[in-house]
Amino acid sequence: MGRLTSDELHAFAIGFFEVLCPWKPRKSIEAAAPKCLEGEYHYYLAGRGTGFISLLLILLGLIKLGKEVLI
């Protein structure tokens, strides 16, 4: 198994931060799909999955912190 290429890493980062930032994107990913997503869609989906899990963990951490501060 080799190192990630820049296109693979870029596709992963696009998917990760697309989900981690919960607000609506300015552009649709289908309308302005970067060239790096053409052959690396599975890295994009892995990034989206990782971003979603990270967002859930951040929200759970904030809820736990809020409970500690309020109690």
User: Domains of the chain: which residue ranges?
Assistant: 6-70
* Structural contact between residues 34 and 64, judged by C-beta atoms closer than 8 angstroms: no
CA 10 – CA 16 distance, rounded (Å): 10
pLDDT for position 50? 94
Predicted TM-score (pTM) of the model is 0.75
For the stretch 21-64, pLDDT in tens is 877 766 666 655 667 677 888 888 899 899 999 999 999 999 99
pLDDT for position 8? 86
